[in-house]
Structure 1
């Protein structure tokens, strides 16, 4: 939750592709649906806390320094799983984030409903994002930074400049 910055219209990406952290934009068109999602996530978090759970996995050093942070709303997942699971690291039940296969299945269902006859996965959104930015006049270096590429040639491949 803490990685969503509505005031600055930004999302912090932690441990993304290649283990990199980056900041990208949060489109204003997604703010209202995302606020609704956060309200539902908060409802689940509050239920979990009442039931004696509600902890999330934190980076090791942070968990040691701030033991109560694991139950804090700001560290909770924006997209929590529907089910609790046993967490060996905590020795208790917790609610993890939605699994990547659930996201992949949702994308596949959407592609089927839209009658798109191509293989489309979540990575296609990065390519589409980059290509649309370039088509709308954004410079390649800005796009490179938003995607977190070290080399501009990678960004040029992404946007089909080559």
Structure 2
């Protein structure tokens, strides 16, 4: 149990860095960077915890990004700042870079050495996993706004 807590703290520590970095690139106000850091650490470590208990990465990503969407709505109403300021920066650490990289490297390998079933399996498996994780991120972030603002007219 102590080891899991240590791993969660380590995961949270390394997850706030890209969240704040992304927020700084897009000129988030300085006093709001702490919320981006908390959101990034919270989302990535929550996904890690769900995955430790056996949940697939795609579903864990969806649940955590939806929770971040609700938390971002709360923060945006509390501070009168647009919701994406918090939510987008907070889910950046969950972008599936290693899966996308593995898929692209296998695709380049197919191009240079020729087709093989193992390489094609790598391309399909990692490419689809990347696609599903990105879909889970986008739908998870959009879900709270759809549920809360669905009764409002467009114009």
Q: Tell me the TM-score normalised to structure 2 length.
A: 0.28
Q: Which protein has greater RCO, CA pairs closer than 8 Å, 6+ apart?
A: 2
Q: Tell me the TM-score normalised to structure 1 length.
A: 0.27
Higher-helix-fraction structure: 2
